[in-house]
Amino acid sequence: MTVAGFIKILVPITLIEMMVAIGLGVSLAELAAVARNWRLTTKAALANYLCVPAVTVGLLLFFQPADATVAAGFLILAVCPGAPFGPACTRLARGNVAAAVGLMVLLAGSSAIAAPVLLHLLLPLMSGSATLQVDAGQIVVTLLATQLAPLCLGLGVRHWLPRLANGLQRPANLLSAILNLATLVVVLIVYFPLLAAIRLRGYGGMLALLVASWASGWLLGGPGADNRRALALTTSLRNVGVGLVIATSNFGGTAAVIAVLAYGIFEIVGSVILALAWGRTDLAPGA
């Protein structure tokens, strides 16, 4: 088996296990409470499925990457919200953690349908031809199997067998951390030479996208600083696991995988720094 083939197997397995672990930690009552807050969910949908993709398209048209698959990688992450790091970062920022958890699950579940549709519409804008077309139907099936179904399984166990869920949650989270680390290491080793070749101009574009994502969530997240922080961080943290599944299955061995990985690392580091800064602000004397 080639390394590329191994990555194509490892990434979906990691995503499936991670989604089960997420479901084990969220009750249906908590999820329903966030879903009933239609203002917050509508704003989250606008920020994640309209603002971020629109800004991404605008930045890609401005920077005009030489390799069209780079644009594909950024667009893949732009349409894949619901990262599992959102609630953890929101906790560091002293934001509304309950809202972050609910939004993470709702966005992760809905992206299984929304992401393929958006990619089908947006990718031709970047290529000017059919070279960046994806099989939307295949992506829907893949994400339903690797994301939505495992998430529902975890939620079902939490709802119907809470004691079992409590017992499984800790080892599931540990296994998720190990698989994520293994995936990151393998992908970094394989693609490090290409990652090292990213120019300063590329990092400038990534910073612009990250700041725009923060701003979209913050402006739409009000009222209340705790909700603004939750939505800002939920919006900025795209689902790298889902992005890698789509990129490796449709654009394996191309710069699309590099773009997903590079921006995935960049957004996580940047959002953690912002979350820590917000948390320290609240702890400051007189805050």
Give the tens place of pLDDT for each residue, 226-257. 999 999 999 999 999 889 889 988 888 788 98
Mean pLDDT across 44-57: 97
The chain-wide mean pLDDT, for the chain, equals 88
pTM of the model: 0.86
Phi-psi region of 199 (alpha: psi -120 to 50; beta: other; left: phi over 0): beta
Q: Read off the pLDDT band of 180 (50, 70, 90).
A: confident
User: Higher pLDDT residue, 270 or 124?
Assistant: 270
Q: Read off the pLDDT band of 16 (50, 70, 90).
A: very high
Tell me the three-class secondary structure of 23-91, residue by residue: HHCCCHHHHHHHHHCHHHHHHHHHHHHHHHHHHHHHHHHHHCCCCHHHHHHHHHHHCCCCCCCHHHHHH
**Gap between the Cα atoms of 104 and 209, Å rounded:** 20
**Residue 19 phi, psi (nearest 5):** -70, -35
Give the tens place of pLDDT for each residue, 104-152. 889 988 998 999 999 988 988 876 544 667 777 888 888 888 888 998 9
Which residues, 6+ apart, have CB-to-CB distance to 206 below 8 Å? 262, 263, 266, 267
**Going from the N-terminus, what domains does the chain have, and what CATH number goes with each?**
3-282 (1.20.1530.20)
Residue 219 pLDDT more than 70? Answer: yes
Q: What is the pLDDT of residue 130?
A: 46
Residue 284 pLDDT more than 80? Answer: no
Mean pLDDT across 15-21: 89
Residue 34 pLDDT more than 90? Answer: no
Give the tens place of pLDDT for each residue, 183-202. 888 888 887 887 777 888 89
Residue 103 pLDDT more than 90? Answer: yes
Q: What is the pLDDT of residue 273?
A: 95
Phi-psi region of 129 (alpha: psi -120 to 50; beta: other; left: phi over 0): beta
Q: What is the pLDDT of residue 128?
A: 56
